[in-house]
């Protein structure tokens, strides 16, 4: 009998989990609160310009993930990125950097094949009855039964869903997340110097990248991504996004 399994979260972890379960013969459904998949590897479009506002690249540190990246590169979903840094072209990379093409979300798209994904579905509660799981949403609707549920969301969200599972909840309480404001800027003309990536610029700015330097992007003008430092992001997490944008761009 085919097992019906639910996964909460359509980021890299949730989609990788789905791929393994599908290959084992399970029927898998994913519920994602956002309108797009990818989580912190999602690609945001402003007009026709794609921005990697979250994860800027990935590295392959295990044989299994290296095989997956090689598979993506050979099929056109990913490519090696060698930006110009203060140490020259491709300098400062302890491990090779890879990016999705034409956006970081391309890395997770092959994982979504043969999986039913529901977007814009924020899970509110998990309940268990008669050895099966029910999933309840913010609009008070429910789906189920499921033989199992995999929770693949950041720790604070997971804790809200798994609060009744004390052993898991206690472990989640010890997880500390690092916030990060991300600023996306589109300019008709190139204004950055020849360097494509800057890191640890100040107490405010952790990362600046010419996003359109990455393989498969639109090369015209400048598409810039700025990441604030975790400390500054935490201190300003309640500020209005417009105010944060002005301060980051000024910096």
At 145-166, the pLDDT tens digits run 999 999 999 998 998 888 777 7
- Give exposure, 190-206, as e/b (b: 16+ Cβ within 10 Å): eeeeebbbbeeeeebbb
pLDDT band at 221 (very low <50, low <70, confident <90, very high): confident
Instruction: Give SS3 for 101.
Output: coil
CA 211 centroid distance within chain? 16
pLDDT for 22 equals 92
Cα–Cα nearest to 213, from 235, 234, 195, 239: 195
Beta bridge partners of 227: 182, 207
Whether the pLDDT of residue 219 is over 80: the answer is yes
Dump pLDDT digits (tens) for 12-68: 999 999 999 999 999 999 999 999 899 999 888 888 888 999 999 999 999 999 999
Quote the CA–CA distance of 28 and 175 in Å, as a whole number: 28
The string of pLDDT tens digits covering residues 89-137 is 877 788 999 999 999 999 999 998 878 999 999 999 898 888 899 999 9
1 pLDDT more than 60: no
Angle at 204 between CA 203 and CA 210, to 5 degrees: 120
Arithmetic mean of pLDDT, 219-243: 94
């Amino acid at each position: 009998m085919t097992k019906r399994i639910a996964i909460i979260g359509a980021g890299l972890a949730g989609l990788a989990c789905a791929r393994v379960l599908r290959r084992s013969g399970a029927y898998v459904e994913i519920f994602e609160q956002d309108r797009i998949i990818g989580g912190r590897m999602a690609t945001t479009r402003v007009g026709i310009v794609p921005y990697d506002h979250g994860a800027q690249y990935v590295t392959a540190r295990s044989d299994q993930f290296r095989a997956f990246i090689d598979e993506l590169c050979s099929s056109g979903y990913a490519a090696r990125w060698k930006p110009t840094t203060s140490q020259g072209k491709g300098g400062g990379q302890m491990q090779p950097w890879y990016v999705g093409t034409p956006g970081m979300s391309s890395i997770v798209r092959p994982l979504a094949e043969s999986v039913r994904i529901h977007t814009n579905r924020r899970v509110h509660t998990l309940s268990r009855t008669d050895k099966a799981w029910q999933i309840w949403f913010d609009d008070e609707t429910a789906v189920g039964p499921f033989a199992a549920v995999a929770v693949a969301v950041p720790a604070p969200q997971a804790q809200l869903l798994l609060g009744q599972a004390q052993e898991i909840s206690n472990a989640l309480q010890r997880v500390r997340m690092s916030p990060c404001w991300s600023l996306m800027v589109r300019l008709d003309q190139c204004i950055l110097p020849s360097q494509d990536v800057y890191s640890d610029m100040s107490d405010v700015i952790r990362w600046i990248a010419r996003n359109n330097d990455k393989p498969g992007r639109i090369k015209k003008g400048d598409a810039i991504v700025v990441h604030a430092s975790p400390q500054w992001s935490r201190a300003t997490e309640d500020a209005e996004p417009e105010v944060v944008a002005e301060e980051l761009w000024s910096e």
